Amino acid sequence: QVHLQQSGPGLVKPSQTLSLTCDISGDSVSRNSAAWNWIRQSPSRGLEWLGRTYYRSKWYNDYEVSVKSRIIINPDTSKNQFSLQLNSVTPEDTAVYYCVRERITAAGARFDSWGQGILVTVSS
Amino acid sequence: AIQLTQSPSSLSASVGDRVTITCRASQGISSALAWFQQKPGQPPKLLIYDASSLESGVPSRFSGGGSGTDFTLTISSLQPEDVATFYCQQFNSYPPTFGPGTKVDIK
């Protein structure tokens, strides 16, 4: 049974960097049949996919176009975790942030395991 | 990006009622659609994937159908614990996108 545990600050100042970490237990960040995603949720934007990292003989990343210039998602195999870094934040980045496992099987891909969520507020 | 719309945006039904929520995609997505249930203060929970496959551990009163652009989530007999917001999500093309949600409560 996979468990995703998120950590990071709940308050970030405008123009600074939002940093969150997701610890994985019960699975491996390097598993070939999974990808590791960040999704956020706000009343104004709903559920919004931000990006993912995954291993297929080497590491890959995909990012949502609207944040592509500001986002980095990194795996850490030594700690079996992955992280989100979102630079130059504005109040529009205020949201609940989730780390999510994307499980990939013959039946297709699905977001089957979610972290507990962290409310990140961007405010001075 | 593929846009998803849901109807209705909210509904109120009695315990034991059959409830159906619709999700429509802006272009064909084959069967690459999932349904989630979200209760206040919790992350979304996967109910259905590949349009009609029931996720392990999810009660059999939940079912999904459809393909192409039109999809449904049906609760065959609404229970008090089903009060939540339900979202559809497509995986046919990147980026994955979500519908705006349908809020279900008990009359």
Q: Is B53 on the interface with A (CB under 8 A)?
A: yes
Give residue-wise pLDDT tens across range A27-51.
Answer: 999 999 999 999 999 999 999 999 9
B97 vs A contacts (CB less than 8 Å): 49
DSSP A26: S
Distances (CA, A) of A69 to A53, A65, A85, B44, B65: 16, 8, 11, 27, 38
The tens digit of pLDDT for each residue in A1-37 reads 999 999 999 999 999 999 999 999 999 999 999 999 9
Q: Tell me the one-letter amino acid at B29.
A: I
Using alpha carbons only, give the angle A99, A104, A60 rounded to the nearest 5 degrees: 65
d(Cα B25, Cα A100) in Å, to the nearest integer? 23
Find chain A residues with C-beta within 8 A of B87's C-beta: 47
Please choose, from the candidates A69, A73, A116, A68, the residue with its C-alpha nearest in 3D space to the C-alpha of residue A96: A116
Contacts of A116 in chain B (CB under 8 A): 43
Band of pLDDT at residue B14, cut at 50, 70 and 90: very high
* CA separation for the pair A75, B89 (Å, rounded): 25
* A111 SS3 class: strand
Distance CA B92, CA B100 (A): 18
Would you call B96 and A108 a contact, using CB atoms and an 8 Å cutoff? Answer: no
CA pair distance B62, B87, nearest whole angstrom:
13
Q: Which member of A108, A114, A117 has the closest CB to residue B32? A: A108
Distances (CA, A) of B38 to A56, A62, A94, A114: 31, 26, 19, 11
Say if residue A108's pLDDT is above 90: no
Whole-number pLDDT of residue A107: 81
**Residue A77: its pLDDT value, please?**
98
